């Protein structure tokens, strides 16, 4: 019996899952990266749902286009779940990203109004930090190599803290400040906590706890100052551009210190990382496509010239600029892989039965993974190559001139009730930065 078991294990497929896949996963966990190529190969081989178990924790990867079910039509059945809250509670608390039900709805109602306002002062914040970034990207000597991705992460941290708190941590100018280092340390350990299943308890957490103390102290100082203001003073500030911060706006709705801390850290995490990643991919592709750079420059100069500062309306009106960002988000969605948990015994519409085309039962507490990267990389959701449509894996902003994705085939900001509330701000930030670099 044991010999038969070893015979079955000693096959290429078994060895891939036993040795190669875990080693690849550990390498990407250590480097805080994601295996883009592996995700693509995975979905090309498996058309339906993949059931996996990591040390007895069961998870289904719904790679066959189940996002509409999970995010919209059966939204009440799937959520972040209690396990996610346990894993992230120390870092993000009970914020919009960790809660479900009424608590999540209250968080969304609190935050959403702050993301739909186009304030001139926000553009001034972008401008200030963009000028520092441009100088650093140029390097101190001709031909000097710079780490653009590192600069983008420091840049977005500076702009995000400035927007949220009214004061930047100035990591571009001062290198890895205490706050920037603490934030990085916490993120690195948190990524392990979220990925290593039941063995997460074995992860050393010294740097994690020390980093959290720095983050909480830093953010807490600003919260204390905001709460010293009367409701009337806060209302006056939030009605004008002068002195406005995201924190002031939140404090005018709630005086709960824990709520303010959790929401600020959550928005800081989302706003910093997603924008930095998008800028990194954007300039990677622009460096490989000089004709796109030339087209962008022509459009930018036709709208605002070399000296004029763009407005929000200018950014929205530049079609080629917007198409370039859409193309980056199509190829490199900001959150390429996500997980929901079944909040009750439920189903997915396909994956069951002998042919995989019948509903499949999903027990309560089952984790369901889905990938926007895999979804948006499927060839079957695009027009055929014979129609003249560009290769779906190629970076071609012009494809957006006469093409609109079908529903639920382009969801870089997710979809359904939990669609990203910050997408307007997110789209403005890279566009502003891209415009100035050009």
Residue 199 covered by a domain: yes
What are the tens digits of pLDDT across the range 195-225? Answer: 887 788 889 999 999 999 999 999 999 999 9
Residue 24 covered by a domain: no
Residue 88 covered by a domain: no
Token output for 51: 């059931």
Pair type for strands 57-62 and 367-370: parallel
Residue 217 covered by a domain: yes
What are the tens digits of pLDDT across the range 82-100? Answer: 999 999 999 999 999 999 9
- Between these two residues, 176 and 394, which has the higher pLDDT value? 394
Residue 213 covered by a domain: yes
Residue 417 covered by a domain: no
Burial class (CB in 10 A: 0-12, 13-18, 19+), 305: exposed
When mean pLDDT is compared over 45-59, 243-257, 347-361, the highest value belongs to 243-257
- Between these two residues, 225 and 385, which has the higher pLDDT value? 225
What gap in Å lies between CA 416 and CA 418, rounded to an integer? Answer: 5
What's the confidence (pLDDT) of residue 36?
Answer: 53
190: nearest Cα among 198, 200, 181, 180: 200
- Between these two residues, 337 and 63, which has the higher pLDDT value? 337
Burial class (CB in 10 A: 0-12, 13-18, 19+), 19: exposed
What's the confidence (pLDDT) of residue 107?
Answer: 96
What's the confidence (pLDDT) of residue 23?
Answer: 60
Residue 284 covered by a domain: no
What's the confidence (pLDDT) of residue 4?
Answer: 46
What are the tens digits of pLDDT across the range 17-69? Answer: 445 555 665 565 555 555 555 555 555 544 455 554 444 456 666 655 688 99
What's the confidence (pLDDT) of residue 45?
Answer: 47
Give the residue numbers spanning the domain of 201. 95-274
Instruction: Compute the average pLDDT of residues 138-147.
Output: 75
63 and 370 in contact (C-beta within 8 Å)?
yes
- Between these two residues, 143 and 325, which has the higher pLDDT value? 325
Structure confidence at residue 16 as a pLDDT band (50, 70, 90): very low
420 is in an annotated binding site: yes
Residue 369 covered by a domain: no
- Which of 25-34, 46-55, 127-136, 304-313 has the weakest average pLDDT? 46-55
- Between these two residues, 287 and 19, which has the higher pLDDT value? 287
Q: Residue 357: is its pLDDT beyond 90?
A: no
Instruction: Compute the average pLDDT of residues 395-419.
Output: 96
- The answer to whether the Cα torsion of 21, 27, 30, 32 is positive or negative is negative
What is the number of structural domains in the chain? 1
Can you give the CATH number for the domain in which 115 is found?
1.10.630.10
Mean pLDDT of the chain: 84
């Amino acid at each position: 019996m044991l010999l038969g078991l070893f015979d079955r294990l000693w096959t290429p497929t078994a060895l891939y899952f036993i040795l190669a896949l875990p080693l690849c996963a550990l390498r990407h966990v250590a480097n805080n990266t994601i295996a883009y190529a592996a995700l693509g190969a995975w979905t090309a081989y498996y058309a339906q749902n993949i059931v996996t178990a990591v040390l007895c924790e069961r998870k289904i990867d719904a790679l066959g286009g189940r996002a509409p079910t999970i995010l919209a039509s059966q939204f009440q059945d799937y959520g972040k779940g209690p396990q996610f809250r346990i894993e992230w509670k120390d870092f993000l608390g009970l914020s919009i990203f960790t809660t479900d039900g009424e608590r999540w709805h209250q968080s969304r109602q609190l935050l959403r109004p702050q993301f739909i306002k186009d304030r001139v002062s926000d553009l001034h914040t972008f401008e200030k930090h963009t000028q520092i970034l441009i100088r650093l990207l140029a390097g101190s000597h001709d031909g000097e190599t710079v780490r653009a991705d590192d600069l983008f992460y420091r840049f977005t941290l500076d702009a995000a803290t400035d927007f949220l708190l009214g004061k930047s941590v100035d990591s571009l100018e001062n290198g890895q400040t205490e706050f920037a280092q603490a934030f990085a340390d916490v993120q690195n350990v948190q990524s392990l906590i979220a990925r290593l299943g039941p063995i997460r308890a074995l992860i050393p957490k010294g740097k994690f706890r020390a980093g959290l103390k720095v983050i909480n102290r830093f953010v807490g100082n600003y919260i204390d100052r905001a709460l010293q203001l009367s409701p009337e003073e806060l209302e006056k500030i939030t009605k004008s551009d002068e002195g406005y911060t995201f924190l002031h706006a939140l404090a005018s709705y709630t005086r709960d210190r824990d709520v303010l801390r959790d929401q600020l850290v959550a928005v800081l995490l989302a706003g910093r990382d997603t924008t930095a990643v998008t800028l990194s991919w954007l300039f990677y592709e622009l460096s490989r496509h000089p004709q796109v750079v030339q087209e962008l420059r022509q459009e930018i100069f036709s709208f605002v010239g070399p000296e004029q500062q763009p407005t929000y309306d200018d950014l929205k009106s530049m079609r080629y600029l917007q198409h370039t960002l859409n193309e980056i988000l199509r190829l490199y969605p900001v959150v390429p892989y996500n997980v929901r948990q079944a909040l009750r015994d439920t189903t997915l519409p396909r994956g069951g039965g002998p042919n995989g085309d019948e509903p499949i039962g999903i027990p309560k507490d089952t984790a369901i993974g889905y990938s926007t990267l895999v979804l948006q990389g499927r060839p079957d959701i695009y027009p055929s190559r014979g129609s003249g449509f560009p290769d779906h894996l190629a970076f071609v902003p012009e494809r957006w001139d006469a093409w609109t994705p079908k529903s639920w085939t382009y969801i870089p900001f997710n979809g359904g009730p939990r669609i990203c509330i910050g997408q307007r701000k997110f789209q403005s930030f890279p566009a502003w930065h891209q415009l100035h670099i050009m």
